[in-house]
Chain A
Amino acid sequence: MTTSNLKQTAKSVKPKINWARSEEVDSFAKTVKLFRQGKYDAASFRRFRLQHGAYGTRMTGDYAMVRIKLPAGEIYPHQLEKISQLSEQFSIGSAHFSTRENIQLHWIVLEDVSEIFRGLAEVGLTSREACGNSVRNVMCSPLSGVCPDEEFDATPYALATAKFFLRNPMTQNLPRKFKFNFTCCEKHGMVRMVDVGLIPQIREIDGETQRGFKIFLGGGLGNRSFVGHQLEDFTPDEDLLYTSIAVLRIFDRLGDRKNMARNRMRYLVNDMGWDKFQNLVLKERAIVRATQSVVTRLNVNHTPYEIKRPFRISDESGIPSSDGYARWLKTNTLKQKQSDYRSIFITLEAGDITSNQLNALASLTRDFSSEGHARAGFVQNIALRYVHEDDLPRLYSKLLETGLAKSGALTMTAPIGCSGTTSCNLALTNSHRLAKEIQRKFLELKLDEDDDLKDSSIKISGCPNSCGQHGIATIGFFGGGGRVGKDMYANYQMSLGGRSDGDTLLGQTCLRIPAKRVIPVILKIIEIFKQNKQSDDSLKTWMHRVVNNSEDSEIKSINDIKKVLEPLVIPPTKEDDPDFYLDYGSDSSYHTKTGKGECAA
C-alpha cells in the first residue's frame, strides 16, 4: 500500500489566504427561503444570488451553477477533496474547470447552494463575486513562477489584487463584470483580451532594478470583441493598485448602466477612443494617489512557497508499461526555469472531471508536486508544477490509473468548449460535447504528436457570447442554427487566425459549418495547410499569413480557404442523412431555444 504510506509522509501545505466568510452561508440560506416565500422580489434575489457566485441554469429556476473562484488558479489538496465531496453530494458527480480558473458545480438544487458555501468555507474557498457585476476571479498564468521567459513571478500580485477587491464596497455594483488577468510572459498570453491584463516587467534605473507591469486595458471577448491597449511603457508595482482603482472608478462612473449588452469596459474604451480613455486613467490615477485618506496598498505576500520534494518510503520501478509515456512527456509537460523540475498539464474533456478524479488529483498533488498545490490553467485544464524529472514516469503511471493521462494537453487536440446546452440558458448548440468529440477523434488520429499543429488551438462557444473564447482560436466556432426548409440543424460560425499572445488578433470570420461537419472541415484545413506550408511553418504561423493576406501559396486569403471548404458544408436532405439534423448528444430534432442570460463566462 504505497499510496497510503505516501499520504502520511507528504504533509498537506496550507493556503496563504482564506477567501471565505462563514456568515455568508446562513444569510444565503435565509434569503433563498424568503425568496421562495415570495418575500424577496425576483430581481433583487437574482442580483444577490449572482453576487454570491450562484448562476442560473438552462430552462429552470430550481437549479443553480456554483462557480468557485481559484484566485491565481491555486488549489490545494484538501480543497480538491472537499470539492470532490460536494460534487458527489450535491451536483452530478462531476465538476468543471472553466477557462477563468474557476471550478463550477452544475445542476445544484437552489436550496442546497448554501450547503456548498458551507463546505467551501471549511476549506477557505469562496464563490463570492464569481458572477454578477463584480470583479471576477483574478487569473494568473499557470506558469507564473516557473516560466523560463518571465521576468518575475506575478502570483503574489494576483493574489493581493484578488484579496483587495473581494467584498470591497467599491466593486459591489459595477456597471458590469470586470476581469483581471496576470500572466508570466508574452508567449503565454491572455492579457490583451481582458479588462485589465498584466505582464511582469523589470526595469533598471541608475543601477537599481524596479518591478512593475505592462498593463493592457479595454480588451475582451464577447458578442463584440476588442484587443486591449497598453497603458504606458512601464507601470511600477507601487502604482499597480492605484492604476487598478483608477480604472475601476472610471468604469464605475462612465460605464453604460442602461444598455446591458454593451456595457463591458471595452465598449466604453471603444466609444471614447483609446487616447481619451488613456488620458482619463492617468489623471484619475494621480487623483487616487493624492487623495487616499489612509495609506492604501496591496498586501503582497512575498514569502516564497516551500519547495520540498515529497518523501517516498518505497520506490516502485519507474518504467511505465505503456509507450504512451513518450507521447505524454512530449505533449503534456514543460521544463521549468528551475532545473530538474517540470510542470505537467492534465487535460480534461472540455474541463469535466469526476469526483473520484478530483480525489486522485489531491493525492497526486501531495505525492508529486514539490510546492504542494496545483494550479488551474487557462484552457479548462490543471497544472501540477515542481514535479521532479525522476518522478515523471511514476506520475504518468498514476495518472493512467485514474484516467487523467490523456495526451495532447499542450496541443491543438485539447479544444475548449463552453458549457453550451448542457446547462447554459443562452446556448444554441452543444459546444461542450462537440469539444469532447473533437478531442477524442484527434487523439485517435494522433494529431497531438504533430509538431506543426502544436501551438494552434480550437475553441468553441455555444452562442456568440464568447465564453468558449472562439475569437482567439486558430480555428474558432460559435453556435447558431441553420435551416433547410422547415428543418433546423446546429450550425457553427467558424473564424480563423485568432491568437492571444504578443500578436493578439481576433479571428476572421470564414464560413458557417454544420455541427456534424466540423470535424471533417478541421481535417480539411489541416490538409490544405500541409499542402501549402513552408518547411518551418506551423498551422498557426501559416494561418497568420493567410489572414493578413501575406501568404503567397495557392491559398492567399480566407476566401481561398472558404472556396475549398464550401462543398463540405452543403446540407444533405433529411432522408439521406437524418443524423445531420441532430446536434451532438441529442436524439431529437434540433431547434434553438434560449432563456434569459445572466452574462456568463
Chain B
Amino acid sequence: MCCLTDSSKITTDIDSLRSEIRDKSVRVIDVRRESDYKQDHISGAVNLPLATLLSDDSPERVLKLFNSMGIDDETSVVVYDDTFGALASRVAWTLEYIGHSDVSLLETTYGHWKSLGLENDSITPDIQNKTHSMNLQSDILATSEYLESAKSREDVILIDNRERLNFLEQHIPGAISLPYRTLSSSDKILRSKEDMKRLLDNRGITENSEIITYCGSVGTLSGLAYYALKSVGLTNAKLYVRSFKEWKNLQKPTEKQEDANYWDLSAE
C-alpha cells in the first residue's frame, strides 16, 4: 500500500502554485508538446513531453530525466498539461513510482490558467542537475501477470477509464466502466472531494478494496483515475500502466456487450 503522498495534496490549487513559484519553492513540469511549450508556458516550468517519457520509461532512464530537471528527493513538484490532467497524471505517477513523494497535479489545465491571464512566458529556465535516489514503489504498479492473478480476488476492483463506447465494444472481463470524463468538473481536472466520494461510493468503490485502473494504451486516462481515487483517500490503488493495448497483444481474454448496435447511437 502506498501512503507516500498525503492524500489531501493530490492537486495544487492555482493560488498556491503562484505563491510557490514566487518563492521558488517548486519545480513545475509542463507535459505538453515541445512546440506548445516553446510558445508559452507557466513561468519557470520545465518541459517534459509525454512522448519523451514514453520513448523509454525504464526506472533508470526516467531517473536521469528527472535528475536533469533539477529534481531530488526533497523537491516539491507540480505537474500540468492541457489534456484534462491525464498526461500530467502519467508523469506524476512515474515520479511516485521511482520513489518521489512530493508531487501533485495543477488543479486545472494550462488553457484555463492562460485564459485567467496568469503568469506565463516563453523562457526556458536554466536547470542544474540534481540527484534523486531510486526507491521503486512497486505496489502502485500492476503488471499483466499481477492483474491476471488479482482479478479473481473478491477484494479487487478493476476500473476501465476509456470512453463508454470503447468499453462496451471490448474490455477486460470483470472490469467496471468509469470513463475519464466522469472524473472532472467543468473547470477542474478532478471533481470536488465530496462529489468524487459520492460517485465512487455509488459504484461500490470503497476503501475495503484494492483498485486497479487501466485505459487504452499508456496509462494516462487511468493515471488520472489513480489520482481521482487517491483524492478521496482510496490509496490502495494500482495503475496497470501498459493497459488494454498490452492485454490485447498478449491475447488475454476480453469481453463485450453483445447483440446491440450502440455505435450507431453516436452522433460522431
Point out residues on A near B: beta carbons under 8 Å: 29, 32-33, 36, 57-60, 85, 88-94, 96, 106-107, 109, 111-112, 114-115, 348-349, 352-354, 357, 419-423, 430, 432-433, 436, 583-586, 593
Contact = CB atoms under 8 A, between A and B. Distances in A.
Interface in B36-56: none
Contacts of B198: 29, 115
Which one of B177, B179, B186, B202 has the highest number of Cβ atoms from chain A below 10 Å of its Cβ? Answer: B202
Contacts of A423: 260, 262, 265
Interface stretch (B16-24, B61-69, B160-168, B238-246): B160-168
B268 A421 contact: no
Contacts of B268: 93-94, 354
Contacts of B258: 59
B266 A352 contact: yes
B260 A585 contact: no
Contact of B177 (A93, A109, A348): A109
A441 to B, nearest CB: 16
B259 A58 contact: yes
Interface in B142-186: 163-165, 168, 176-177, 179, 181-182, 184, 186
A111 B163 contact: no
Which one of A29, A60, A111 has the highest number of Cβ atoms from chain B below 10 Å of its Cβ? Answer: A111
B108 to A, nearest CB: 16
A107 B267 contact: no
Contact of B267 (A32, A94, A109): A94
25 contacts: A58-B259, A58-B260, A59-B260, A60-B257, A90-B182, A92-B165, A93-B163, A94-B266, A106-B262, A111-B203, A112-B182, A112-B202, A114-B202, A349-B267, A419-B265, A421-B261, A422-B263, A423-B260, A423-B262, A423-B265, A430-B261, A583-B261, A585-B263, A585-B264, A586-B261
B123 interface: no
Which one of A91, A583, A586 has the highest number of Cβ atoms from chain B below 10 Å of its Cβ? Answer: A91
Contacts of A354: 266-268
Contacts of B164: 91-93, 107
Interface of B: 163-165, 168, 176-177, 179, 181-182, 184, 186, 198-199, 202-204, 257-268
Contacts of A357: 267
A109 B265 contact: no
Contacts of B176: 109
A593 B265 contact: no
Contact of B262 (A29, A36, A92, A114): A92
Given A92-B163, A422-B260, 8 more contacts: A92-B262, A114-B202, A352-B265, A352-B266, A354-B266, A421-B260, A421-B261, A422-B262
Nearest first, the 3 A-B pairs at minimum CB distance are: A352-B267, A433-B264, A422-B265
B203 A109 contact: yes
Given A58-B259, A59-B258, A423-B260, A85 B168 contact: no
Contacts of B184: 89
A593 B261 contact: no
B85 to A, nearest CB: 15
A59 B259 CA distance: 7
A59 B168 CA distance: 12
A538 to B, nearest CB: 30
B260 A92 contact: no
A432 B261 CA distance: 9
